[in-house]
Amino acid sequence: MKKLIATSAIALLASTSFAAAEVGACLVTKTDTNPFFVKMKEGATAEAEKLGIKLSTFAGKIDGDVETQISAVESCIAAGAKGILITPSDSRALSPVVTQAREAGLIVIALDTPFEVPDTADVTFATDNFAAGELIGTWARKKLGAEAANAKIAMLDLNPSEISVDYQRNQGFLTGFGIDVKDPYDIGDEDDPRIVGNDVTNGNEEGGRTAMENLLQKDPSINLVYTINEPAAAGAYEALKAVGRENDVLIVSVDGGCPGVQNINDGVIGATSMQFPLLMAAKGVEAIKAWADSGERPTVSAGLDFYNTGVTLITNEPVDGVPSISADEGLGKCWG
Amino acid sequence: MSDTAHTKDAAEGKTDNNQTFARFEQTDKSVLDRIQHVLHKNPTIVPVLVLMVSIAVFGMLAGGKFFSPFNLSLIMAQVSIIGILAAAQSIIIITAGVDLSVAAIMVLMSVIAGKLAIDVGVPAPIAVVLSLVGGVLAGGLNGFFVTRLKLPPFIVTLGTWNIFYALVLWLTGAQSIRSQTIDATAPLLKFFGNYIAFGGARLTFGSILMVLVFMALWYVLNKTAWGRHVYAVGDDKEAAELAGIRTDRILLSVYAVAGFICAIAAWASIGRVGSISPQSFYEANLHSITAVFIGGISMFGGRGSVIGALFGALIVGVFQSGLRLIGVDVLWQVFAIGWLIIVAVGIDQWIRKVSA
């Protein structure tokens, strides 16, 4: 059955196979539901149109849908595409098929999520999630000033799997705030007394609220909340509002989705690190075009093993030494 | 065999008038057998005991924080949505079915209420009523596929789970409706987020609603003809049919009622979460099934009390709150809930053997 679907997908694609002169490219995202990937697709489609590239898009059904992504890559190879842009649902399981694609002469660019061995793809275009966390951590430290030494911090993470984006943002925030993170790949191994505790949110409002309630039960004097993303931050705010603490607790987050940026204007979130899915995708399409035209390979950012598409701090209360833009400016750049 | 047992009893001077049949297979009634019989008659005793024991244990381990009125009312609020979904799930499971779409119906109806009230500008009370009607239709659709097309409930609701979820994403673009927007335009949607405060406790309207839903459902299932028919259909559909019950009509109505309860949960969920969030409650269908099984309702249908599902949901809430307050890592909470399910269904199987 699975094979049948895969074969028919290939057949379907082969029938619309790229004409010899045309440069074909594929975009394979994790899902079609997350606004982040929806925006990524928009960015890639727009750039491909501009450059005259024929772009085919694929997406898994849910985050972690490896099989659909594998058959998508196979279809792209069969259709004779020049390059593949992919956000791997599983940074290990997709390695073999990606290697296969590169052996078949395609350029493979990982977007947003690096492969476990970054060299698996030709290059990775991604947000530096550690830097995104570090920005809000530094901002929070400077915002609290002398009080930072007595902060009571709640850490609202993603889920029990502790995937890379989860620990990178978490550990980045703590580093920026000036807390020793111990093992940089492990969430929750810190022993700084300022950390009240960690809990998971699944990156949504319901989880954010429940996690915040739980940590407030542990220590009602929490005054700084790190959140993995803006929906979790909105949930945390509701929990604080329920106990009348919404005005004396600082919430920081990462993402740059439009509701999140609006929440900065409404005083829900103090600061958020915005990432740029549109830019990631556009850069990827450009790189495929450059490679198809001149054989030129994209390079990584200095000191990193990927090309950093950048983060911008959004806040209405800027602090010295941390460059930021206001929420009103951010609304022009937000995604979703 | 029975003769010898009888002779033995007689020899020992036991006076048993009506125990001959009971003694037919077993010459001696152990304490365990007695327990098994009692549990068979009252399957809700197990979850009640587990709930009381777990409250006592976590109270000792986590200290005063766990026992504070605030924390106990917080547990109620935290389980209220899963609890109401478990009420819907329990009537389906009593008919020997299962509904994987309960949470998807709920999220879809919360989105419909929100979109109507906020984007379309429909007055909030009408938006709520329309979403309740939508719940009945969505549940009825499941019932239609199950009764008319004779498809297994698991397959039907696996399908509609995906369909409803896709509709949610289509309607929202996977984007939440913010709490501030709801406050400004349709605060009625957050009605169940209000609470009554007394003695440090904060009983949310959503928690009260959960208890009321269970009480109403218990009454209907135990005191009305419809309720008895639901149990009869779940116990043995053919026999119920032979007894003159229009089983398909009962099944269809059960799915519609479940859909209606999901829509009630949708309204409550907006108060609980604050915003209308398409990404929340993705696995709440499984959590509702968990609550039902831990609550001692048999997956083979026809047996178990809906009140059990309420206790099942509370047990999960108590475990999560207690383990968190002790400071146990999240993955061990997941581990503990997994064992709870297996033990609960194991006990259910053991109790069933009494009638074998």
Size of interface A-B (CB pairs under 8 A): 96
CA atoms within a 13 Å half-sphere pointing along the CA-CB vector of B165: 23
Tens of pLDDT, residue by residue over B35-81, are: 888 888 777 888 898 899 889 888 888 877 888 888 899 999 999 99
> Which of B191, B167, B204, B170 is closest to B117 using CA atoms?
B191
Higher pLDDT, B263 or B7: B263
- Mutation test of the interface with chain A: which of B273, B281, B328, choosing the one with the most A Cβ atoms within 10 A? B273
3-state class (DSSP) for residue B137: helix
Measured between alpha carbons, how far is B166 from B104 in angstroms, rounded to an integer?
Answer: 9
Measured between alpha carbons, how far is B95 from B97 in angstroms, rounded to an integer?
Answer: 5
Q: Do A336 and B173 touch (CB under 8 A)?
A: yes
Q: Are A159 and A166 in contact (CB under 8 A)?
A: yes
B78 near A CB under 8 A? yes
Tens of pLDDT, residue by residue over B138-159, are: 999 999 999 999 999 999 999 9
Q: Are A317 and A264 in contact (CB under 8 A)?
A: no
A277 near B CB under 8 A? no
Taking contacts as CB-CB distances below 8 angstroms, the residues of chain B near A231 are 176, 275, 277, 279
Nearest to B279 among A203, A210, A268 (CB): A203
Residue A263 Cα to chain centre, angstroms = 19
Q: Do B176 and A231 touch (CB under 8 A)?
A: yes
Prediction ipTM score: 0.79
> Which of A38, A41, A34 is closest to A282 using CA atoms?
A41
Tens of pLDDT, residue by residue over A216-274, are: 998 999 999 999 999 999 999 999 999 999 999 999 999 998 999 999 999 999 999 99
User: What angle is formed at CA A185 by the lines to CA A40 and CA A205, rounded to 5 degrees?
Assistant: 50
Measured between alpha carbons, how far is A261 from A256 in angstroms, rounded to an integer?
Answer: 6
Is the pLDDT at B7 greater than 50, yes or no? no
Nearest to A35 among B81, B174, B274 (CB): B174
Measured between alpha carbons, how far is B305 from B308 in angstroms, rounded to an integer?
Answer: 5
DSSP B117: I
Tens of pLDDT, residue by residue over B297-354, are: 988 888 889 999 999 999 999 988 888 888 788 788 889 889 988 988 888 788 877 7
Tens of pLDDT, residue by residue over A285-313, are: 999 999 888 888 888 888 888 889 899 99
Measured between alpha carbons, how far is A25 from A82 in angstroms, rounded to an integer?
Answer: 6
Residues 6+ apart with CB under 8 A from B91: B217, B221, B230, B254, B257, B258, B306
Q: Are A192 and A226 in contact (CB under 8 A)?
A: no
Amino acid at A123: V
Is the pLDDT at B12 greater than 50, yes or no? no
A242 near B CB under 8 A? yes
pTM: 0.81
Tens of pLDDT, residue by residue over B202-240, are: 999 999 999 999 999 999 999 999 999 999 999 999 999
Nearest to B74 among A199, A213, A231 (CB): A213
Least confident of A50-59, A75-84, A112-121: A112-121
Q: Are B80 and B73 in contact (CB under 8 A)?
A: no
Residue B355: its pLDDT value, please?
Answer: 55
Beta bridge partners of A57: A27
Residues 280-309 of B with CB under 8 A from A: 280-282
Beta bridge partners of A226: A155, A252
Q: Do A205 and B176 touch (CB under 8 A)?
A: yes
Is the pLDDT at A10 greater than 50, yes or no? no
* Backbone torsions φ then ψ of B268, nearest 5 degrees: -65, -35
B45-62 helix and B31-41 helix, angle to the nearest 10 degrees: 110
Q: Are B284 and B85 in contact (CB under 8 A)?
A: yes
Taking contacts as CB-CB distances below 8 angstroms, the residues of chain B near A188 are 329
Query: Token pair for residue A89?
Result: 């649902």
B205-223 helix and B306-326 helix, angle to the nearest 10 degrees: 150
B59 near A CB under 8 A? no
Measured between alpha carbons, how far is A123 from A109 in angstroms, rounded to an integer?
Answer: 5
Helices (H), chain B: 2-12, 31-41, 45-62, 64-67, 69-94, 102-114, 124-147, 153-172, 179-185, 205-223, 225-235, 237-242, 247-273, 284-294, 306-326, 330-352
Residue A16 binned pLDDT confidence (cut-offs 50, 70, 90): very low
Residue A279: its pLDDT value, please?
Answer: 87
Nearest to B179 among A202, A214, A234 (CB): A234
Report the DSSP pairing between strands B195-198 and B201-204: antiparallel
Is the pLDDT at B6 greater than 80, yes or no? no
3-state class (DSSP) for residue A38: helix
Is the pLDDT at A20 greater than 50, yes or no? no
Kindly report the nearest CA distance between residue B186 and chain A, in angstroms: 17
